Structures are given as C-alpha cells and as structure tokens.
Amino acid sequence: MASAASSEGTGVAVGWPRWVSLIALAPVFVGLYVRVLSAPSPGGFVPAQAAARAASLAEPFYGEQLLPNNTTRSVHSAAAAEISGGRLRAFWYGGSREGAADVAIYTSVHSPLDGTWSPERIVISREFAQRHLQRYVRKLGNPVVGRDRSGRLCLFFVSVSLGGWAGSAVNLTVSEDEGETWSPPRRLIASPFFNISTLVKGAPLRFSDGTMGLPVYHELLGKFGELLRLDAEGHAIRKTRLSWGQSSLQPVIVPRSEKEAVGFMRHAGDPPNRILIVRTADGGVHWSPTAKTVLPNPNAAIGSVLLADGPLLLAFNNAEENREDLSLALSTDFGKTWRIAHRFEGVSGSPGAPVPEYSYPWIMQDQAGDVHLLYTWGRTRIKHVRFNRAWLESRR
C-alpha cells in the first residue's frame, strides 16, 4: 500500500476546500450523536422465572443417564435448554478429537414422558458454518444456548479460523421451532484484535430492556471475562468487563434480582486454586474486583443456577489439581458460604469413565422445578443427572 502516497508530498485530496469537508462532517456527526443519545439506557437483569411447580413432588427423585453417542469418539462441553412439552434439548461438540476438522455441534432431545434421549444429530458442521459465515473455519468449539425476548432459541458456538482456542470467535444461530431448524450462523464481533479470542461457556441471560446478556471470555495474552449485551438481531451493542489480567475465564452469571447478580469464573492463575467470584449491584454496569471463594478449582469450568425461591447451586470439580471429582455445592446466602451437597463423580468404588475426567458442567432448572446437570463424562459421553427439590432437601 506504500505506493498510495506520492513522494512529492502532495496528493489530489489536498485541493479540497475546507468548507466541503465541514459540510460533509456536519450531518455525519449529527447522525453519530443522534445514534448515541437516542440509545436506551441499559436495563437490569431478568432473573429466571419462578418454576411453576417448584418443589411440587413430595418424593425425592434422582436419576442419571448417558446421552447417546453413536457418532464420535470425543465429546465435550454440553449445554441445554428446556423446550416445549417440558422436554430438554442438549447441545455439545463432538468429533474424532477436540480441535479436529470433523468436530460438529450435536443435539439430542430428552423426553420427560419416557425419560429417554433421542439419537444425536448434527446442528452445525464446520462446512455449514464457513459457508454461511463466508469465512474459512478450521474447527468448532463450545456451544451455549438461551432464549431471547421473543422466545427463540439462540445457539452460540465457538469457531476458530487460525491457531488454537485463543483464536476463537463466537457465532450465533437462531431457531424459531424449538431447535428443529436453524438460521444461517452469523459472527459476533467482540474484540478489535482481528475479532479473535472470544469464547463462551456460561449460559446467556436476559435484560429488562429486551437485550440478551452473553458471558464471554478472552484467552489471547490475557485471560479475562466480559459480559456482552446483544440486540434483537444478535449484534453486540455494549459490553462490560468482569475481570482483567491473566487468570480468570469462563464466567457464569446468576442474577438474583434486577440489580443484583453474582458471577463465578474459572481460575487459571497462581495457587491457591479457587473458584473466582464477582458481584454487581447495579444490573451489571459495574462489577466488584474478582475474589477467591473457598471452593477449589483445578483450572476447570463451573456451572451455577439459582433455584426458584431457593438456594444457589454450583457444580464444580472439587479438587485443585484434576477433574476426577465433580460435586454440587449449595449456598443459602447467595454465594457467601457454601456446603457440599453431593458428589456426582469421584466416589471410590463407583464405576467410572475410561478417562477419569468429569468436567464442563451445565446446570439449570426446568419449569417443573427439576434440576438438570449435564457434563462431559470421560470425554466420550455427555452425562445427564436429574433431581428434584425434595431430593436436594434430603441432602441437607
């Protein structure tokens, strides 16, 4: 591009009179100011609606099963949303190995009537993604799912064009028929540096102004969390930094009221290895500095949900060095103190996966009040655990 400039120090543009520039500038800057001044002020959180029949079952219930996987050798990073009829639609990525070109985003549906999961099918393949994104895509990664204000399912997933996970970007596809069909994916822009190094793991949330919140994190040079606000079309229109530096990632945000929320993050810094916590009291505009909780964290993802009229749950690897123990912690004071309510994996004597890694938990509550936990089971299957409030009460 060096030849764009003349060596004599003059170019054709120099001949413009000033008034032409000023006339061109005036409407442009008026337009910019109108755009900014007319933007609505950000709304507060919309906490998850109280479950209609929360804790209605008197009998404690606890069940677990592996999701079908007849297609891929490796699976990871499950997410799920409740769909019509009390069903659950799960997503995860699978392929010959993590980062392989054949990795795709899979889905399966759980029916509450017979308690089974449907055979898995591909939602997004690498080829499908790059055809619609009109960009080369080398591999796919973490999916997360939520609903926008119109009730549409919004599936966010990570893709990489160059390099490792630090070169990730986030994409969005939308379904208006509970996940049967999906719109062409589109790219979210969240970083000025080639728009790389933005990933997702935590569940999206909603704001009272109709925007959607998407917890994201960055992994290039720094490791830190952010909260994106997305408009109805899925464009990032605002963002807030949850943390900074090189040691926090994979934020999970749990609102309690319009103003108040707590966020948990994976710790990738110096010992002691603990889950990180941040708080906001103004609807996510400002966040407290990160602090370490008492709960251990082996540089692994966590999941959290606030039950309707109930405690805060946190699914996590209860160890500082490995992902062999997956446990459930419970807090009745919104994250100030915790107690371990249950150990899902890592109990001595219980049958384990060939590879003892139980990670990337996704925890949620359905409209019936039941809690669902999905997680990577030995990197070969996704496991689904379902329990009700009565069972949880019995663990106290």
Partner 1 sequence: MSANAIFGLSGCGLLSLAVVATLIRLQRLPVRVRLAVILAAALAVFVPLGDLSAAAYVRGVTGDVSMTTLVLAGAACLAQLTGRTLIGQRDLRALCWLLMLAAALLYPFALGWTQFDPYALGYGSIEFLTSLLLITLAACWARLYVIVFIFVAAALAYLAGAYESRNLWDYLIDPLVSVYALFCLGVGLRRRHPVLAHR
Does 221 sit near partner 1 (CB under 8 A)? yes
Between residue 186 and residue 215, which ones bind partner 1 under the rule CB under 8 A?
Answer: 186-189, 191-196
| Position among 84, 134, 348, 350 found at the interface with partner 1 (CB under 8 A) | 134
Q: CB count, 10 Å around CB of 49?
A: 9
Does 158 sit near partner 1 (CB under 8 A)? no
> To the nearest whole angstrom, how small is the minimum distance from the Cβ of residue 225 to partner 1?
9
Residue 379, phi-psi category: left (phi > 0), alpha (psi -120 to 50), beta (remainder): left
Quick note: the x/- pattern for partner 1 over 234-263, rule CB under 8 A, is -xxxxxxx-xxxx-----------------
Does 322 sit near partner 1 (CB under 8 A)? no
DSSP string of 56-86?
---S--EEEEEPP-SS-SEEEEEEEEEEGGG
Does 270 sit near partner 1 (CB under 8 A)? no
Q: How far is CA 171 from CA 103, 154, 189, 241, in A?
A: 15, 10, 9, 20
Task: Select 3 or 84, whichever has its Cβ closest to partner 1.
Answer: 3
> To the nearest whole angstrom, how small is the minimum distance from the Cβ of residue 300 to partner 1?
20
Q: Do residues 279 and 265 lie in contact, with contact meaning Cβ atoms separated by under 8 Å?
A: no
Peptide bond into 272 cis (omega under 30): yes
- Interior/surface letters 108-138, b for 16+ CB within 10 angstroms, e for the rest: bbbeeeeeebeebeebbbbebbbebbeeebb
Quick note: the x/- pattern for partner 1 over 271-310, rule CB under 8 A, is ----------------------------------------
Q: Closest Cα to residue 199, out of 207, 208, 190?
A: 190
Task: Select 211 or 376, whichever has its Cβ closest to partner 1.
Answer: 211
What is the contact surface with partner 1 in residues (CB under 8 A)?
A: 1-14, 16, 18, 21-22, 24-25, 28-29, 31-33, 35-37, 39, 127, 130-131, 133-137, 161-162, 169, 184, 186-189, 191-196, 218, 220-224, 226, 231, 235-241, 243-246
